[in-house]
Structure 1
Amino acid sequence: MPTGSVRNQGQLYYADNHWCDQVKKTRQKLAGICGQCLNRKVRVQTIDGHTYEGVVVGHDNTYLHLANTDARFFGPAAITTLVLFELLVITLLI
């Protein structure tokens, strides 16, 4: 349902307008940062405490795509897709 729509009696959840605006700003900021990290190795920590390492192979306004850099894998790299607004820390690895 679009932000600002009239609430329906059957709705179970209705996002707060302030929260929606904040998520959109955060997504936009993170998409820009992810663009700067394209083809670079990063470590990402989510707000739930999960940590991932990989090479940024793509992103859009919703997702970050990391290619797994684990040496145990042979053949095509496994791709991990993370939701931008769930990210807590992105660290560039050298």
Structure 2
Amino acid sequence: MPTYNTGQPSTVIYQADPAVVQHLHGVRESLHHSCKPYLNHKVKVQTIDGMMHEGIIAGMDSKHMYLMITVNTEPARGFYNPYYHPYPGTGYPFPAPINNAILPLVLFELLAISLV
């Protein structure tokens, strides 16, 4: 069985600044207090990367917000949609289309959340 302990002292590549860690804990607490009353409400979420998502807040844990989104079941030209089924309800080997999915969003990457 391989072991990863070589007996040599480890070299720290990165260590977060304690002030940043404390600030991130505050941001997480603020998000929980702000979003918890809006569970099961429709919202629009913008991430720090500029992505926009619209859906219903399905839940939260210490690291993620779970957003229930509607999956587009219409075929898009040039793109493969694994949820699309041209003949719904025909059974095996083709399942019925899935219209909803849960999208986990990392709390620290959320820039704005607004009610829709």
Fold similarity call, TM over 0.5: yes
How many Å separate the matches in 2 of 1:76 and 1:38? 20
How many residue pairs are counted as aligned between the two chains? 85
**Aligned partners of 1:44 and 1:87 also within 8 Å:** yes
Say if 2:42 and 2:57, in contact at 8 Å, map to a contact too.
yes
For the pair shown, which has the larger CA radius of gyration, 1 or 2? 2
Q: TM-score, normalised by structure 2?
A: 0.67
**Partner Cα separation in structure 2 for residue 57 and residue 76 of structure 1:** 15
Q: Counterpart in 1 of 2:112?
A: 89
Contact 2:40 2:58 in 1 (8 A): yes
Q: Give how far 1:91 is off.
A: 0.5
Q: How well do the aligned residues superpose, as a CA RMSD in angstroms?
A: 1.7
Structure 2 unaligned runs (5+)?
1-8, 74-96
User: Secondary structure of 1:78's match?
Assistant: strand
Paired residues of 1:55 and 1:69 also in contact (CA < 8 A): no
Mean Cα deviation higher: 34-43 or 75-84:
75-84
The answer for the alignment partner of 1:43 in structure 2 is: 44
Question: Identity over aligned residues, as a percent?
Answer: 39
Deviations 1:66-85 (A, max 9, x none): 00135x34535111000111
2:70–2:99 Cα contact (<8 Å) kept: no
SS of the counterpart of 1:42? strand
1:18 aligned to 2:41? no
